[in-house]
């Protein structure tokens, strides 16, 4: 679960950060899109976040498809 905080950590390698509050990427897009000016750099970065989410989804789907095909071939 994630909270609604926008703190950027100083040390990304701190294991305690795994339990720290974060703001979900989808929540960032939904909450900040209405307040940004069309064509602004912030507006473009929100679209970059959307593209990152799309790429994560595609990678997960491709990897899961490869795993499923491997399991099916192993069972035959």
Percentage of residues in the chain with pLDDT exceeding 90?
A: 53
Residue segments in the chain with a per-residue pLDDT below the cut of 50: none
pLDDT (0 to 100) of residue 23: 78
Positive or negative: CA dihedral 6, 10, 37, 44: negative
28 contacts 42 by C-beta, under 8 angstroms: no
The Cα diameter of the chain in Å comes to 56
The secondary element (H helix, E strand) that includes residue 29 is: helix 25-32
- Per DSSP, 39 falls in state T
pLDDT (0 to 100) of residue 69: 94
């Amino acid at each position: 679960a994630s909270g609604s905080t926008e703190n950027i950590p100083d040390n990304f390698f701190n294991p305690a950060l795994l339990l720290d509050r974060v703001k979900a990427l989808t929540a960032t897009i939904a909450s900040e899109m209405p307040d940004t000016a069309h064509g602004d750099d912030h507006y473009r970065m929100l679209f970059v976040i959307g593209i990152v989410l799309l790429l994560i989804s595609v990678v997960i789907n491709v990897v899961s498809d490869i795993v499923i095909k491997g399991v099916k071939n192993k069972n035959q």
